[in-house]
Amino acid sequence: MSSRSDPVSALLAREPLAPLWLLHGNEPLLVLEAADAIRAAARARGFEERETLVAGQGFRWDALALAAGNMSLFGGNKLIDLRIPNGKPGRDGGEALQRHARALPEGTLTLVTLPELDWATRKTAWFTALAQAGHALELNAPERERLPEWIASRLATQGQSAERDALVFIADHVEGNLLAAHQEIRKLGLLHGEGKLNLEQVQDAVLNVARYDIDKLRQAVLEGDPARCARLLDGLAGEGAAPPLVLWALANEIRTLATLKSGQAAGQPLPALLKAERVFDERRKQAISRALPRLGLGALRAALLHAARIDRIIKGLAAGDPWDEFLQLSLRLVRR
């Protein structure tokens, strides 16, 4: 059974403890918290022994079968805590995981933690076998538009609430860094106690800990958000991001949009074009679908010429500030 939205605490509260849990996603904090909750629930239900296996380089997969076959030293139930840091068990590991999923030992609970997985890995036989044998939870960081809501729910667990503008302020300052967001929320709990927080209290307490990255800039361009583009570019410049890398990301996105636009003009269906361009992420598909109607083929070609001029600036062959040009290029793409 697979779930993207159900928090593990809700599953633990309303259902019997499943014999196998599979955790993966792009946010280590959420994966860690979910794993901690499962381990705590296991201890409360009599799983007195825990055996931790880390499938790193040189790991022998027969250790999983041995762990499953060995009875608990204390005569009780046992938790097998299997961690696969790179998310790639290989052929031997995949076969071992399938065997384990087909014959889960009685009195044993298996917890498998993985990093973010691509679509191909989620279609493998070993992943499917594990997901069907228990609960598979995809634990991703909330999208930017849902971040204030996530912050509000975290504040509520410590008896606090905040005005909408205060929630947005926190989100702007912790974007892309959920662990820092968690720390700032805990700090607000220590500073102010239970009750409603106003914007001034939040501004005094919250540090600017946002982690800006280039993928978020690409997403902001696609979503037509000029203010976020400007904020992300300021953050990237402040963090010393390499201009050639920023240019590559923007130019690659423009080329993809231009190819899709040309294909649409030739009468090809968008789903087939997206597949040909290897666009598989659902959110990116949706953002591209919304961006294409506002961008003409001529505008995209002009944007590519602008990108070529920025390349010359970066190489010292033309005058100008690449970061100013990145902003102008981004604004060109988000105009409606």
| Residue 255 belongs to domain with CATH number | 1.20.272.10
**Are 44 and 13 a contacting pair, CB within 8 Å?**
no
Helix axes 297-314, 322-334, angle to 10 degrees: 170
CB-CB contact of 224 with 294 (8 Å): yes
Instruction: Report DSSP state, residue 19.
Output: S
pLDDT at 206: 84
308 in the same domain as 241: yes
Pair 155, 72 in one domain: no
Residues 193 and 229 in one domain: no
Is residue 57 pLDDT above 50, yes or no?
Answer: yes
| Nearest of 27, 28, 101 to residue 64 by alpha carbon | 101
pLDDT digit string, tens, across residues 280-323? 888 888 889 999 999 998 999 999 999 999 999 998 899 999 99
Residues 160 and 247 in one domain: no
Short-list 329, 328, 260, 271, CA closest to 296: 260
Residue 174's domain is classified under what CATH number?
1.10.8.60
Closest by Cα among 140, 120, 105, 193 to 31: 140
Based on the fold, state whether residues 134 and 154 are members of the same structural domain. no
**DSSP-assigned beta bridge partners for residue 162:** 197
pLDDT of residue 6: 53
Q: What whole-number distance in Å separates Cα of residue 140 and Cα of residue 135?
A: 16
Half-sphere exposure of 192 (CA within 13 A, CB side): 24
Q: 123 with 17, same domain?
A: yes
Range of the domain at 106: 2-138
Q: Which of 205, 234, 252 is the last residue of a domain?
A: 205
Q: What angle do CA 173, 176, 178 make, to 5 degrees?
A: 85
Arithmetic mean of pLDDT over the chain: 89
**What is residue 5's predicted lDDT score, i.e. its pLDDT?**
46
On whether both 12 and 131 belong to a single domain, the answer is yes
79-113 pLDDT per residue, tens: 999 999 999 999 999 999 999 999 998 889 999 99
* DSSP conformational letter for 72: P
Q: Note the pLDDT tens digit of each residue in 234-249.
A: 988 988 888 998 999 8
Residues 227 and 284 in one domain: yes
The closest of 200, 188, 190 to 161, measured between CA atoms, is: 188
Confidence (pLDDT) at 54: 94
pLDDT tens digits for 127-184?
A: 999 999 999 999 998 988 899 999 999 999 999 999 999 999 999 888 888 888 998 9
- Count of domains observed in the chain: 3
Same-domain check for residues 42 and 22: yes
174-192 confidence digits (pLDDT tens): 888 888 899 899 999 989 9
pTM over 0.95: no
Split at pLDDT 50, 70, 90, the class of 277 is confident
Per-residue pLDDT at 210 exceeds 90: no
Instruction: Considering only the C-alpha atoms of the chain, give the largest distance between any 2 of them, rounded to a whole number of Å.
Output: 75
Asked if 140 and 50 touch (Cβ cutoff 8 Å), the reply is: no
Tokens read off for 170: 């926190």
What percent of the chain shows pLDDT beyond 90? 60
Tell me: do 187 and 238 sit in the same domain.
no
Q: How would you classify the pairing of strands 77-83 and 108-113? A: parallel
C-alpha distances in Å from residue 309, one per residue of 33, 69, 106, 137, 314: 47, 64, 66, 45, 9
> Which of 111, 138, 165 marks a domain boundary?
138
Residue 206, both tokens: 């919250």
Domain shared by 319 and 227, yes or no: yes
pLDDT of residue 84: 95
In which band, very low, low, confident or very high, does the pLDDT at 2 lie, cut at 50, 70 and 90? low
172 and 134 both lie in a single domain: no
What distance in Å separates the CA atoms of residue 322 and residue 306, rounded to the nearest whole number?
A: 11
- CATH code, domain carrying 49: 3.40.50.300
